[in-house]
């Protein structure tokens, strides 16, 4: 069987033949062309946002990922208008149950706990389920003395869950604290975009902070800053390179080398 037949049998042929457009330069290619190039546009080199599945394929050793708390789903806990319908639509459009996928696996043979946020589910925003899943992951990692490797991409806290979403920042921070106190490694990998309450909590709490090239990383939104200060934002403001320059990121790593770099760091910290 050739690749086409295998994909056909799996019902994936259409998916891989589906056209995708680079948002940066407008180049149109089959999905498989982008996928085989680590979701980097072959024409202009722009990094496209990755889904959790694509990220796991790229980083985690083949067939080692075991998902945890996979079925946890959000409810409209404060009866926020239109939220129930929004959740339903997000599930349908993203084929995900929530904005983070958690689990265990190996990276370059090193066992670790892994969380991967996915911006295709309500802009990766954090409500109670995202907070709970990441908290449980850190607690499990603390119990088993596992390092945590986390990929962030998020617009911030999910306002449709009101104060509950804000409090998730503190809840996850508690679990990060206990994991760290027990002498475990946490590598945070910041991908485009990582903003708001995620930047102000677990995205910036890693022992090692890696960012993808040109990723938008910041706390306050750019439009809000412009409107409040009336100033023009400097070139490259809140991009990964800007954070590296100001001392808030350890490494900017290109996608093709990311797995190798994470594996080397895990090995170096193994006990």
Partner 1 sequence: MAVLKPSYERVKAARSNDRPMGGYYIKHMIDDFIELHGDRRFGDDGAIVAGVGYLDGIPVTAIAMERGDSIEERMRRNFGCPSPEGYRKALRLMKEAEKFHRPIICFIGSSGANPGIEAEERGQGEAIAENLVEMMGIKSPIISVVVGEGGSGGALALGVCDTAIMLENSVYSVISPEGCASILWKDSAKAPEAADALKLTADDLYKFGIVEYVIEEENRTSEEICSALKRCVKDEIIAKKALSVDELLDGRYNKFRKIGNCEDNQ
Give 48 or 169: the residue with its C-beta nearer to partner 1: 169
How far is residue 225's CA from residue 213's CA, in Å, rounded to a whole number?
A: 23
Q: Which residues bind partner 1 (CB under 8 A)?
A: 69-74, 77-78, 80-82, 127-129, 131-132, 135, 157-159, 161-171, 173-178, 180-181, 196-197, 199-205, 217-221, 224-225, 228-229, 231, 233-234, 237-238, 242, 246-248
**CB nearer to partner 1: pick between 162 and 213:** 162
Q: How far is the CB of 160 from partner 1 (least distance, A)?
A: 8
**Closest Cα to residue 190, out of 99, 116, 96?**
116
CB of 113 to partner 1, least distance (A): 16
Of 59 and 126, nearer to partner 1 (C-beta) is 126
Q: Mention every residue, 6+ apart, whose C-beta is less than 8 A from residue 49.
A: 39, 119, 120, 153, 191, 192
Name the residue nearer to partner 1 (CB basis): 124 or 196.
196
Cα gap 208→104, rounded to integer Å? 19
Output 18 or 82, the one with its CB closest to partner 1: 82
To the nearest whole angstrom, how small is the minimum distance from the Cβ of residue 88 to partner 1? 16
CA 87 to the chain's CA centroid: 19
- Tokens 């994991």 correspond to 179
Alpha carbon distance 107, 60 (integer Å): 5
**Tokens (6 digits) for 184:** 């475990």
Distance CA 48, CA 63 (A): 24
Q: How far is the CB of 207 from partner 1 (least distance, A)?
A: 11
Q: Which is nearer to partner 1, 11 or 230 (CB)?
A: 230
The residue among 40 and 150 lying less far from partner 1, judged by its C-beta, is: 150
Which residues, listed in sequence order, are joined to residue 110 by a DSSP beta bridge? 107
What SS3 class is residue 1?
coil
Name, in order, each residue with C-beta under 8 angstroms of 75's C-beta and a sequence gap of 6 or more.
none
211's enclosing H/E stretch is: strand 208-211
Nearest distance in Å: CB 172, partner 1: 8
To partner 1, the closest distance from the beta carbon of 89 in angstroms equals 14
Beta carbons within 10 angstroms of residue 91's beta carbon:
16
Shortest Å, Cβ 1 to partner 1: 35
């Amino acid at each position: 069987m050739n690749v086409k037949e295998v994909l056909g049998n799996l019902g994936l042929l259409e998916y891989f033949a589906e056209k995708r457009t680079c948002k940066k330069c407008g180049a149109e290619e089959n999905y498989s062309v982008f996928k085989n190039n680590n979701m980097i546009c072959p024409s202009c080199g722009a990094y496209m946002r990755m889904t959790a599945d694509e990220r796991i394929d790229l980083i985690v050793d083949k067939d080692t990922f075991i998902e945890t708390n996979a079925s946890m789903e959000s409810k409209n806990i404060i009866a926020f208008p239109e939220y129930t319908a929004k959740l339903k639509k997000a599930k349908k459009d993203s084929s995900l149950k929530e904005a983070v996928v958690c689990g265990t696996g190996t990276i370059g043979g090193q066992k670790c706990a892994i969380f991967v946020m996915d911006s295709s589910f309500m802009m990766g925003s954090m409500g109670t389920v995202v907070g709970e899943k990441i908290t449980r992951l850190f607690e499990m990692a603390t119990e088993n003395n596992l390092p945590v490797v986390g990929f962030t991409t998020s617009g911030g806290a999910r306002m449709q869950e009101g104060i509950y979403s804000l409090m998730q920042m503190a809840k996850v921070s508690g679990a990060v604290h206990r994991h760290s106190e027990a002498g475990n490694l946490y590598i945070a990998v910041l991908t485009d975009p990582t903003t708001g309450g995620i930047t102000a909590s677990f995205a910036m709490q890693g022992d090692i902070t890696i960012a993808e090239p040109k990723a938008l990383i910041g706390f306050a939104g750019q439009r809000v800053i412009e409107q409040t200060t009336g100033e023009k934002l400097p070139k490259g403001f809140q991009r990964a390179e800007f954070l590296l320059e100001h001392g808030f990121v350890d490494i900017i790593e290109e996608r093709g080398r990311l797995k190798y770099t994470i594996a080397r760091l895990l090995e170096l910290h193994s006990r």
